[in-house]
Structure 1
Amino acid sequence: MPPLSFRLRLFLSFSLLWLLFLVGALYLAGRGVERALRGHLDATLLEDARRAAEAYRKGQAGSLIATGGVYLHLYAEDGEPLLLTRPEHRLPREALKGAGETPRVAFQKGFAAAWVRTPLGVVALTQDTAPIDLALAALRRSLVEAFFLLFPLGLGLVYLTARLATRPLEAAAREIAQRSPERLDPVPLTLPQDEFGRMVEAVNALLKALKEAKEEERAFLAEASHELRTPLTVLLGHLDRLARNPLDGEALATARATAERMRRLVEDLLALARGEMGFSLNPHIVDLKALAQEAAREYGVAFGGEEAEVLGDPDRLLQMLRNLLSNGVRAAGKEGVRVRLRREGDQALLEVEDSGPGIPEDLLPHLFRRFARGPGGGTGLGLAIAQAIAQAHGGEIAVESRPGRTVFRVRLPLLEAEG
């Protein structure tokens, strides 16, 4: 059995609510009218009984007998009838035994009665309830007719309400169902800021993120293909030269350099992929000063700083520093690069500064993305890998740049902070 649609479920739910409301309202209306009629009759009989008792006590009983549809009866103390103006309204003796000077009232079959003790005996006033019963029967018929008129009318209104309420959702569902990996454009619906509107906004935000991710993936593949195709073409060309002349030393050296460049590029790609999925770290206590000195000596740049220990993977941290230093050396040469290390609160602050031409302002927000290249060239992967390594160690890299001065600041938690 296929699942019910949301509109049908909404319609059935509101129809049930309408049914319960209508039945309850009509029932309460009928009960209210019945209580009002019987209550009015009770109050009238009690008042008449009180006046009759008072008249009998004052010797004025003759003027109160059988007026306005009210029948007056007189009983002895033991309940024996002395005067019955309407014999079918006779009260049972059990009801009269408890009669006192305060009037009492009760409904009997076909009539209502109020009785009170007087000097002459028990005076009872009765009145037919047939008019009330007829009125209540007519009222019940009217309520049933009202139900069969209002219930289908309410169902129609419920259906229209359900249709109007679910129309935006159905439109959004149709639009979303048309989306696919090849079509990620936003859902073209403008809705108020209610639950439906926020849902469509969330879906549009997700579609936008997926579209951007797909565009980045396409750009990544295009850039990776370009980066690999260029050195591969060069390598194949020099291998062809070597095939014709095995003793061509220049071709062999160029082929080796090209192969090394391709190896580094593939390693960078693999490292970045591992970083996005979570680097596999081998944490140790790392002397960050010694590690920075080693990287500075390797690239022949100046270093100055103080002692700092962090918990991390020394190979990954060294890879991060090498990527930052190679980026600075390409921009400013060895003489224009300086490395500094100091402690700042519970963090180690490592700065790589170069005096190169600077990074264009429009490139700064995207500098740590894959294949985002600065003026110094390169594959555009080194900075992305460096940022991934820093984040894997609970730190981050920030950059500040202007013509003649670019500073990369790496912040890592100190070992004391980790403990």
Structure 2
Amino acid sequence: MERSLRTSDPQRQGLAQHSLPAHLETLDHLATMVSVVTPDGLCLFANTAFEEALGLSRRAMLGMSMFDWLVDASLLRDVVAAVARNDYATSRLNAELKRHLHLQVGEVMSVQVIATRLEHGDLVLVELVEAEQQTRQEREERVLDQARANKELIRNLAHEIKNPLGGIRGAAQLLQMELESRSLTEYTQVIIHEADRLQLLVDRLLAPHRRPHVVGDVNIHEVCERVRSLILAEFPRGLRVWRDYDTSLPEFRGDREQLIQTVLNIAHNAAQALTERVAAGDALLTLRTRVARRVTINRQLHRLALVLHIEDNGPGIPESIRDRIFYPLVSGRDGGSGLGLTLAQTFVQQHQGTIECESEPGRTVFKILIPLP
């Protein structure tokens, strides 16, 4: 089944001789930009993502030369022609897309272009993937793989530690009962105390994997307000917690207590990093909620997603650990357990979401994305 291109613009009537494959509307569900062009680059179809990225309506895009949308289209022009001739089935290249705002050329977007020949005549399907989006997807996959590996490592290591730890503590208690010298029992007390400390650490490592996922209706602003009250109770002076909420955000199904713990872990770390600014009286912590549309998380496209920013004006995360902050037992603070962000990441991933972080001196932002129904 085919359909003919319809257009009322006389300058585009020559395109009417081209027929397009049926059901192209399904491409509107893709997060990547997709268009169907002729061998000389005339646009016969563009999906919704392409409209939004380019800043032009689909009606305006039809019949235009796709090559006019790129900063330098010389290579793509040759590639499209070669693919249309079936010199090769597909080809990839990098390019820069000129975005149009109110019919004025605006910012430039770096993209990866994939040209594929359609079996339908000599038409070419051109897919554009934003370079930043591609990088983010690859980063998400690495983080997810690392989180899975960490989870398995932690569980195995914790169980290996737990069994001999109980034996060490029990042996120390028995030895203490046999000792008559008070000075010697101090040593057994040290062994028992350290065994208990390690037992507590093991329990904390295993806690997120043991606790059941309690699902109910969650209002993200109630979560933020709970965290805000806890932070201000601990830091009553010198710290301002600014609220910037999108009150139109709907409720969603999730584990309220897990999300409170997630936001609290991140916000508490931020507040502790603001020690100098708290003393100076200009420490600022911002909780910002927004809704994002057509978001890809872990390679799945979601129509809507909750975006929660937790931002502070502190010194930033040390560059030496910036790429490892979600790893267990990695902390930028003396005395820190290095488990807060690991637990936060685990809880967000259980909600099919992800956490991103950007940090520089004077500004650190953690961004939590969770799909909405």
Q: TM-score, normalised by structure 1?
A: 0.35
- Greater helix share, structure number: 1
Is the strand fraction higher in 1 or 2?
2
- Who wins on radius of gyration, i.e. which is larger? 1
